[in-house]
A and B are shown apart, each in its own frame.
Chain A
């Protein structure tokens, strides 16, 4: 026997659970404007510090400060604000529809709107986004019709995916939005593959992949970073750290030991860690990473520090695993409120205008919902035909599927 104390097994626990005070003391929040902005061709080894801090542009008063403060037209900020507000209206309406039984399932992105919206408005039309299930803000910012989105959620007659996919698993190639998978992380290395293809063909389009902090534990994350660095793929690899993977706090993915952004360092990939609820920070970091990718400076990893303000999905009850008021205590606030405040400080917005915007967005969503519901919801069974389930398994339907379809129709 070795004379030593017994080994201890450690399972990290969340800083606060239901009934306890919310505790975000684990999160260091640097002052806005305090993080340096390197040139895009800076060697990765010379900017490792950026993976351990948090880049922020908007200060507590709503002013845009520091070297990352982006040059951006007020009209573009209004557009971003509108897309975020519309996204929240859309989420509200779809949540209600789920409770009414019009769809089986829904996933909100409340509190995380800034990343998807800002990213969408900053990237180019031919760039391809490989999202997770919580980036509906991209589609709304790109102005994919709300009716199209809702018809997919309702699995109705106009659902372009013919009821094959769970609600919210959109696909919109023409809007640069890759088909959503329910398997976590798979799209990350696919984004790298898409970017490699673009480089192989001498194209100018870049790719952007998304993974949650929880799914960084999947092998696909490692594959993506390995392939991205090996081939210097023109890709942005986003980690949306919303603190919670269903009930598992970010420490269960190793987040208590180092930042998620820092994982890029071992691969020789530059990493930014950004206040994900800071719309101007999203614009600035996306612009920097996109410029790197587009100028053959290779991939960038960006950790977006944000918070999942609502349940993981309509099937989840977060009151069972985290304090009910945690969202209110979240140090980085609400991305919509912060951009609104910024515009007000600049004299480009007012509370009255904002109330009007919210009312307009609610009305737009209501109108779209009416139109989508007229094409059916889960309540009335107006879904794609049963025979359509045999289509698109292969480009041309093989004989065995033709036989099975005939059998289904004969026996129904």
Chain B
């Protein structure tokens, strides 16, 4: 085991898979010689050569389209989209092509690609470096969407994603690359070395896709969160004293509804937290799922704490970001409901 920040855990996963599988290739903007703007591929080109790890033109549609063709050949591409905000020119290749290729060809051709992209705010990235577009992907049949909250899961989930024979969207909350950010932006940065899930095995292991994790057990209210918001929710629970059960979804699709249902049936209350904008966000899907599965056990309306329905602002970042105060307020509201 080694203490690793999340970007290093991600690099370790890619390194392990480049070593194990000669069909794995890695490419994207600035990922080769330079090692990626978030250093997730640093040193890998030197180690594996330019045929396995290389730079691409600035063309997300080209990157994903070429990856689809490589997958059809039999390779297992891992591509990096530099920021999730930049993925939109590649959506046709993802939605119409990668996600549908197995179906439309009756499995003659498949697209076993992993599309990594840093997401989320909290780094003063403004509206073009802060978005959380996960619900665009969960709405597409044929895509698996993964969003880890810590280094241990990031490595294990990424290895599972690379080994998956279908396209996987792997969203990386960039604010927690370096430490488990709980939303208190004025506090000193806490490194992953101080967190138990910053301890990462050096070799190969997998965290199975489609399985949520319970980060904090509690009896009063279920909090559904993922990525950075897992840490924000933990802070909110500790600060309000509400005995929240915090579920880290880890994989958004396929969704682990069993863990959600078991928890909400126990607590009778549910707060959903995500950084993405509210309307038609993934929280809407979660809210619908909870009421379908647990309506008669609910003792309070389901709450959503989300980013506002505005572009992610730059100077007012912390007014937009759903921090522990807003999550705490929601926890108190659902506890006050009778």
Contact = CB atoms under 8 A, between A and B. Distances in A.
Interface of A: 128, 130, 160-162, 164-165, 169, 171-173, 178-179, 181, 183, 186, 188-198, 200-201, 207, 219-220, 222-224, 226-227, 230, 392-395, 398-400
A183 B69 contact: no
Contacts of A171: 104-106, 108-109
B92 to A, nearest CB: 6
24 contacts: A161-B104, A162-B106, A164-B106, A172-B108, A173-B109, A178-B72, A186-B92, A186-B97, A188-B65, A189-B65, A189-B69, A190-B69, A193-B67, A193-B70, A193-B73, A197-B70, A200-B75, A201-B73, A219-B89, A220-B62, A222-B59, A393-B141, A394-B166, A395-B110
A179 B108 contact: yes
A198 B92 contact: no
B78 to A, nearest CB: 14
Given A161-B104, A164-B103, A395 B66 contact: no
Nearest to A165: B104
Which of A181, A193, A200, A398 is the most central at the interface, judged by chain B CB atoms within 10 Å of its CB? A193
Given A183-B97, A190-B69, A194-B73, 14 more contacts: A161-B104, A171-B105, A173-B108, A179-B108, A181-B104, A188-B65, A193-B72, A220-B65, A220-B93, A222-B62, A223-B66, A226-B57, A394-B144, A395-B166
Nearest to A195: B69
B328 to A, nearest CB: 32
Contacts of A173: 105, 108-109
Contacts of B141: 393
Contact of A200 (B51, B89, B97, B101): B51
A223 B59 contact: yes
B142 A189 contact: no
B254 interface: yes
Contact of A183 (B96, B106, B110): B96
Contacts of A226: 57, 59, 62
Contacts of B71: 193
B104 A183 contact: no
Contact of A393 (B65, B72, B102): B102
Contacts of A183: 92, 96-97
B107 interface: yes
A4 B175 CA distance: 54
Contact of B65 (A193, A197, A207, A398): A193
A197 B166 contact: no
A192 B66 contact: yes
A186 B96 contact: yes
A389 to B, nearest CB: 9
Given A171-B105, A197-B69, A197-B73, A398 B61 contact: no
Contact of B106 (A161, A195, A224): A161
Contact of A398 (B57, B102, B210): B210
Which of A161, A172, A227 is the most central at the interface, judged by chain B CB atoms within 10 Å of its CB? A227
A43 B300 CA distance: 73
Contacts of B199: none
**A-B pairs with the 5 shortest C-beta distances?**
A193-B69, A223-B62, A193-B66, A189-B65, A190-B69
A161 B62 contact: no
Contacts of B73: 128, 193-194, 197-198, 201
A331 B146 CA distance: 56
Contacts of A172: 108
Given A181-B96, A226-B57, A194 B104 contact: no
A198 B25 CA distance: 12
B68 A193 contact: yes
A227 B56 CA distance: 8
Nearest to B102: A392
